[in-house]
Chains A and B, each alone.
Chain A
Amino acid sequence: MLKVAGLQLWRGDRHVLRGLSFEGDPGQCVLLTGRNGAGKTSLIRVIAGLLDAEEGEVSWRGAPVRTNRQEFHSALAYLGHEPPLKGDLTGHENLRFSTGIRRPVGTIEIDAALTRTGAFAFADRPVRTLSAGQKRRVALAGVLLTRTVLWLLDEPTTNLDADGQQLVAELIGEHLGRNGLVVAAVHHPLPLPAANVVPIELGAAG
């Protein structure tokens, strides 16, 4: 469903991705590992279309993403290093907006997602008063709410406690169960069934 072919990416004078190719199908989780600076974040940003690779192509459902960006973006949820939340809005208001620009969404649905990620208790506080882990839980609820097939997660467990890391693994597991596709960059291994995982190690050949 998602196909990455022959990606070549330079960041400044560093050749980060050297002819990287892989495929991901529904129900699979592509796990990107590698040391810091190996290009995990860059790869996720290339897939999302935020960064242009020098060579190579990303295709979605058989068509190059470059030519059907709008359709591809409607099908993906992206969560980067920083939770994309407005500090002066509450968690609930943030999700109402970020989900609302994608699809019509109601309060009950937002509350359900917040409850699922354990963020309901502090969803009515301005986000700037929350801890980094709490912000991440709100942001994860945002990913759930997009109801998209493809999740692009960059270090989704950052700042989360042990419970939270377990939660991320559960959420990914459930998403795979719904025939979703996940591309995640991780430091720590996630407890997922090995049959569903496509491991990609970046920067191994150095």
Chain B
Amino acid sequence: MTTPRTSALDAARLVALRDLRLAFRKPSQLLQPLVFFMIVATLFPLSLTPEMSRLRDAAPGVLWVGALLSSLLALEFLFREDAQDGTLEQFALSGQSLTGMLFAKTCTHWLLTGLPLALIAPVAAGALGVPGDAMPGVIASLALGSFAMSLVGAVGAGLTLGARRGGVLLSLLTLPLAVPILIFGARATELAIGGGNIAPPLYLLGAIAVLGLTLAPLAAAAAVRIGLE
């Protein structure tokens, strides 16, 4: 009974394709974090001041806090459903690398939540009086930051699998690790708006993302194994 095995890369690709397909069958779950982000970002001009120059000063903070909270909202669903319907157990028992499959899941998750958020951010930024030539910087910093956030969050999502109402716990676990992302990300956005050089904070964001890339999938796999008990 020897049969050819699926390679680790193909297994990861299948996981990603399945998650994409599932997401498009249930688009409401996809839209929820985006709508949340847009609501937060558009409520600020209404509640703060209509004065563009003051709004512009607050824009980096508003955009990043909104993005962070909305990605926390989305992270809760990263592993939860798969754990509930038993498919995560099958991942763990497939003889494939759980690390690779969870990494594929995390990347797909970012593709479906983080990247769209970065892409619609200019709309929200426009409402906050951010000038048009700052938009590439806004998109770049949010895309990179949300990727780092997804990786860090995957560990938290794995650790809170066993908890019945893991949402609050997930936020508490993830937020301390998310603070550096928030600081450097908001700084990059601020520099982009002010017309400065955004490279230094972007490099730091990139460094966090690389650190997450190397460590987070391993930690997430270990956490999920514990969570499955």
Contact = CB atoms under 8 A, between A and B. Distances in A.
Interface in B91-109: 91-97, 101
B22 A50 contact: no
Contacts, number: 85
B220 to A, nearest CB: 17
Interface in B1-27: 1, 3-6, 10-11, 14-15, 18, 21-22, 25-26
A198 interface: no
A82 interface: yes
Contacts of A120: none
Interface residues of A, number: 35
Given A52-B229, A80-B89, A103 B1 contact: no
A74 B5 contact: yes
Contacts of A86: 18, 22, 85, 87
Contact of A78 (B4, B11, B26, B90): B90
A74 B6 CA distance: 11
Interface string A69-98: 011111110101011111111000100011
A72 B94 CA distance: 10
A178 interface: yes
B183 interface: no
Smallest CB-CB A-B distances: 4 pairs: A74-B95, A84-B86, A73-B95, A101-B11
A200 B92 CA distance: 27
5 contacts: A48-B93, A78-B89, A85-B87, A100-B11, A104-B4
A102 B93 CA distance: 10
B26 A84 contact: no
Contact of A100 (B4, B6, B97): B6
A100 B21 CA distance: 15
A83 B89 CA distance: 11
Contacts of B101: 101
B95 A88 contact: no
A89 B18 contact: yes
B229 A101 contact: no
A51 interface: yes
A49 interface: yes
A167 interface: no
Given A78-B89, A84-B87, A97 B18 contact: yes
B172 interface: no
A64 B92 CA distance: 18
Contacts of B3: 103, 147
A160 interface: no
B229 A50 contact: yes
Contacts of B93: 48-50, 73, 76, 78
Interface string B57-98: 000000000000000000000000000011101111111110
B228 A50 contact: yes
A171 interface: no
Contacts of A98: 87, 90
B5 A103 contact: yes
Given A49-B93, A73-B95, A80-B89, A89 B6 contact: no
A149 interface: yes
B1 A147 contact: yes
Contacts of B1: 147-149, 178, 180
A80 B86 contact: yes
Nearest to A76: B93
Given A52-B229, A89-B22, A178-B1, A101 B85 contact: no
Contacts of B94: 73-74, 101-102
A147 B6 CA distance: 13
Interface in A136-186: 147-149, 178, 180
Nearest to B26: A88
B6 A101 contact: yes
